[in-house]
Structure 1
Amino acid sequence: MAETLQGALAKAYASNPTLTGARAGQRATDENVPLQKANGRPAADVSGSYSESILKPTISFTAPQRTVNAQAQLNVPIYSGGTVRNGVKAAKTRVAAGQANLRGTEASVFSQTVAAYMDVIRDSAIVALNQANVKVLDVNLQATNDRFEVGDLTRTDVAQSESRLALARSDLQIAQSNLITSRENYIALVGEAPDNLEPPPQLPGLPANPETAVQVALRDNADILAAQKQREARHYDAKAAKGGVLPRVSAFTQAGYTNYLHSLDSTALDANGNAVEGPQINKQAVAGVQLTIPLYQGGRPAAQVRQTQALESQAIEQEIEIERGVIAQTRAAYASWQASLQTIDSNQKAVEAASLSLEGVRAENSVGSRTILDILNAEQEALNARVQLVSARRNAYVAGFSLLAAMGHAEADDLGLASGTLYDPMVNYDRVKGKWFDWDYGAAPMPVATRTVDTLPQNANVSPETAQQP
């Protein structure tokens, strides 16, 4: 069965390790939100101990021989100078930035997959063209030898035919090597070997001019959106750092229990004046509110604020840098796409002209007005024109897809992949953002991407359909 570009993209979307690894990294970023929220939640702990006195102090007559002790403590933050609130906002903003980066990774993987898909189609056609050229030159050489035997041609004509055939075979070997490389690269991206790839569909939503492309890119490009969110997160970091000089208020409660296990040497008198064993159990509980007012911390808070402000300034400059790069990338992709379309038209005319020229040279050779070298040159020109046409078609499609990627419109939603296969990063975020339980570890990691160690080494065989010259 033939493979479509949409099918290849769906396979890469589901099992490409770059993409599945980026999703795992985004899930790790999601956990920063509950981590920051934990700083503002109550903390409770219980401790216990058992001690046995090996050597009693010589000056103490009441030291217990053994002791069981238990303590419980609850601490509830009330006000932390805004560090928790701004820390949570920064974490949420970084989640949004990570989701935008995930979109960018998705577009990058799709761009690589489209290029690999078109590389296989191009190199398969080039191999087929070179195979056909070798067959033609082989027939020419046989015909040249036959005419040489009857004295119609010279040894020079035979040598020229032999030379062109040897060069054609060398070109065929190079083309076959390139095809194998393209097929192996396709496997690395898609996870399966390419099998009878169908021509790609028309690309939707290509802009009419570079100005429109840039406007769309500035609005929808994932890299720009991620840079904007990173800048916002740095702003919240700076606000959180300023809370280091503000008062902190927390409520606490403690409870303790001590049992001397009847080993405490203490006596007391009862109502009748008789000596009895003193109490062997001690209980205590306390609750209160704690206020901490920082007075001087060696300049640490100010340094942290200045540091976060510098990082925010860096994020602002990086946003501008990314914006510049996206604008340049979009304009360059548009220019490359337009140039490739014009190249296709030119090469199509060149193929038609070269084919007509080859027919004319052969006809003129049959009446003696053209030499064997003229035929060989015409055949080489026809081959070069067809190879350039195949390459131009590949370049135009890849440039068009790169333009869509720069505009932010080369993601799963834009490409019409089945909705059931789409990965929604919000599902994991909504699942973990409000978790409280300390033992909710989640499932053990398992591989998602498929391995290619069992795939067979690729060859340079092409199907009969591919062998049809464009």
Structure 2
Amino acid sequence: MGLRVNLIVSALALGLAAISVGGVQAQSITQALTIAYDHAPELQAALLDAKSSAEDVALANAGKRPTIGASVGGTYAWSAGQAGVGNPNGNFSDSATYTAGVSYSQTIFDNYKTDARIEAARAGAEAAEHQIRNTEQNVLLSVVQAYMSVLSGRQLVALRQENTSFFQAQLQSSQDRLEVGEGTRIDVAQAQARLAQGDATYRAALSSLEISQATFQRYVGAAPQSLSASHNYGRLIPNSLQTAIAEAEAGHPAILLAKASIRAAQAGSDAADSEFGPNASISGDVGTGINSVSGSRGISGTLGFKITVPIYAGGAIGAGVRKANIEQIKSEVNAMSAYDQVREAVISAWAGMQSADAQIAAATAGVSAGTTVLDGVIQERDLGSRTTLDVLNSQAELTTAREALINASTNKVVATFSLLAAIGHLTAPDLGLDVEVKSAVRYNQAVEDVWQELRTVAE
């Protein structure tokens, strides 16, 4: 009867652990992910990086556009002659000249170097957008890991607290049995040792929980409340490992980023090659001037063109081409590495899910068997056929099985979200989070407006 009471207390303690430690307000995994998405500084930094990369597109586009400027200027001149023969008083004269004009210059051909730079900038902006998604997945996975670390930590604290209470009861029982002559001092000493060990593991669990809660608050921006491992994201898991790998290779942000980086490196190589070609530009200006003395006015202008062909640049052009080619090769090697890493992550997460299922089944069986064994050993100890040490060992085995069940359940949830991240589906849209998705696509479209700067000046 006493064991059944302990098991009921244990179930209540494990069920209410989150409430007793973290508060009374429910906080699901979805809620934590939603809050973390809006809070995470890493995501905000990735978004700003993407916007900065978008400006590279505008800078590259400027190479094909004219440069137009207006200028207004003036000069003041004076002179004073020295008094002398024929000029007894000396002469003083001054004049002011005012000018205004408009200038125009444009590169009309640069051997397609600007085109290559624009392509490189656009590929870089695309890579930065994929980096947002990659960062998003890493952040959300870290949130899930922190969430489950807190939840399992609370369950372990409750379990080890119950374990300590059990050892306290056994110590009291062994002391009572010693007083009536049915026990020994060895039983008391063994119970005291187990109680000390149980108290140490309980305090260790508390310390670990505090660390987990601090990590949770770092990602979510708020202290954990009442947590629950339930979720419905298992529907996003592919039916087979091969399907999972195929989805990852087709849409994982890291792979898409690597592809965009290859494009950027290829465009960089083209830009370096174009340095060997000719460059042609035109320029012109028109203006007017007014002299304050003569009152003369006039309009003048110039128009010119220039063609340059590189002959020798001290080896800089050749070095630039070789460097660009090396960077292109490096981008392709990095892409192969990204494929391998993503494939490894998918296989690892898939195996983690399978392993967690097996561990949950084994731990569940162990808890069931351990409960039966402990109940029987306590009864046999009361009848004198078992010792207190047998009871303590049975309790330790049951506690180990229950801890294994907690850890396996935690591992299953983490492995599920790890697989979603590995196939590229741990994103706000895929999870259906109620957030404004962070993206620089609209910003990219805005900076492609080449006349925006001119309109801004006019306004």
TM-score by length of 1: 0.84
Partner of 1:115: 145
Determine whether 1:311 maps to 2:327.
yes
Specify the code of the residue in structure 2 equivalent to 1:233: A
Q: Which of 247, 251, 255 is matched with 1:220 structurally?
A: 251
Give the CA deviation at 1:440.
8.6
Partner of 1:235: 266
SS in 2 for 1:421: coil
SS in 2 for 1:35: helix
Aligned mates of 1:41, 1:191 — CA distance in 2: 46
Partner of 1:387: 403
SS in 1 for 2:226: coil
Q: Which of 332, 351, 359 is matched with 2:367 structurally?
A: 351
Partner of 1:431: 446
SS in 2 for 1:199: coil
Aligned mates of 1:243, 1:405 — CA distance in 2: 41
Partner of 2:43: 19
Q: Compared with structure 1, are the counterparts of its residues 197 and 255 closer, same or farther at alpha carbon in structure 2 (3 Å cutoff)?
A: same
Q: Which of 395, 412, 415 is matched with 1:396 structurally?
A: 412
Q: After the TM superposition, which residues 249-328 of structure 1 pair with which residues of structure 2 at under 5 Å, given as runs? A: 249-262=280-293, 280-281=296-297, 283-328=299-344
Partner of 1:467: none
The runs of 5 or more residues in structure 2 that have no matched partner are: 1-24, 83-90
* More displaced stretch, 7-16 vs 281-290: 281-290
Partner of 1:36: 60
Give the CA deviation at 1:63.
10
Partner of 1:74: 104
Aligned mates of 1:303, 1:78 — CA distance in 2: 26
Aligned mates of 2:439, 2:299 — CA distance in 1: 54
- Alpha-carbon displacement from aligned partner over 1:140-179 (angstroms, at most 9, x marks no partner): 2222222222222122211111111111111111101111
Cα contact 2:116–2:271 (8 A) shared by 1: yes
SS in 2 for 1:286: strand
* More displaced stretch, 294-303 vs 178-187: 294-303
Q: After the TM superposition, which residues 84-95 of structure 1 pair with which residues of structure 2 at under 5 Å, given as runs? A: 84-95=114-125
Cα contact 2:43–2:136 (8 A) shared by 1: yes
* More displaced stretch, 7-16 vs 63-72: 63-72
* More displaced stretch, 283-292 vs 228-237: 283-292
Aligned mates of 2:51, 2:149 — CA distance in 1: 34
Cα contact 1:73–1:254 (8 A) shared by 2: yes
Partner of 1:183: 213
Q: After the TM superposition, which residues 333-352 of structure 1 pair with which residues of structure 2 at under 5 Å, given as runs? A: 333-352=349-368
Determine whether 1:147 maps to 2:185.
no
Aligned mates of 1:86, 1:57 — CA distance in 2: 62
Aligned mates of 1:326, 1:299 — CA distance in 2: 40
Partner of 1:211: 242
User: C-alpha root-mean-square deviation of aligned residues, in Å?
Assistant: 2.4
Q: Compared with structure 1, are the counterparts of its residues 431 and 279 closer, same or farther at alpha carbon in structure 2 (3 Å cutoff)?
A: closer
Structure (1 or 2) with the greater helix fraction: 2
Partner of 2:12: none
SS in 2 for 1:9: helix
Aligned mates of 1:8, 1:30 — CA distance in 2: 31
Q: Which of 129, 133, 154 is matched with 2:159 structurally?
A: 129
Cα contact 1:217–1:406 (8 A) shared by 2: yes
Cα contact 2:129–2:439 (8 A) shared by 1: no
Partner of 2:5: none
Cα contact 2:132–2:439 (8 A) shared by 1: no
Aligned mates of 2:344, 2:228 — CA distance in 1: 32
Give the CA deviation at 1:65.
5.1
Aligned mates of 2:316, 2:186 — CA distance in 1: 88
Give the CA deviation at 1:100.
1.3
The runs of 5 or more residues in structure 1 that have no matched partner are: 263-277, 442-470
Partner of 2:198: 168
Partner of 2:8: none
SS in 1 for 2:49: helix
Specify the code of the residue in structure 2 equivalent to 1:308: A
Specify the code of the residue in structure 2 equivalent to 1:389: L
Q: Compared with structure 1, are the counterparts of its residues 367 and 57 closer, same or farther at alpha carbon in structure 2 (3 Å cutoff)?
A: farther
- Alpha-carbon displacement from aligned partner over 1:353-386 (angstroms, at most 9, x marks no partner): 1111100110110100110111111111111110
- Give aligned-pair identity as a percent: 29
TM-score by length of 2: 0.86
Give the CA deviation at 1:62.
13
Give the CA deviation at 1:44.
1.7
SS in 2 for 1:103: helix
Give the CA deviation at 1:280.
4.5
Partner of 1:8: 32
Residues matched between the structures, number: 423
* More displaced stretch, 197-206 vs 336-345: 197-206
Partner of 2:228: 198
